[in-house]
Amino acid sequence: MQKNIPRMISENWLILYKEIEGIDLACQRLSRRIQRANSLALAQDELLKNYDEIELDFLSFFPEIINYVETNRPYF
């Protein structure tokens, strides 16, 4: 991870993930790095096909994440 962090920052990986095209690019790259056969390169199709359902799951789960972080954050 220490090797990848500077690239993640310089190439704004997390910013790319806010767009479907960025997620697709990440999946394409990961697909090439996985040595065994995989269908990760087709993830964009699945994401688009199931987008509404995934969004509903996210919208119900994200507030739980926020609450967890706020209640378990260490105080400095």
- Which DSSP category does 64 fall into? H
Q: HEC string of the chain?
A: CCCCHHHHHHCCHHHHCCCHHHHHHHHHHHHHHCCCCCCHHHHHHHHHHCHHHHHHHHHHHHHHHHHHHHHHCCCC
Tens-place pLDDT, residues 46-62: 999 999 999 999 999 99
Query: What confidence category does residue 23 fall into, taking pLDDT thresholds of 50, 70 and 90?
Result: very high
Give the pLDDT of residue 74. Answer: 80
**Which residues, at least 6 apart from 39, have a Cβ–Cβ distance to it below 8 Å?**
31
Domain that includes residue 44, residue range: 5-72
40 in Cβ contact with 31 (< 8 Å): yes
Domain count for the chain: 1
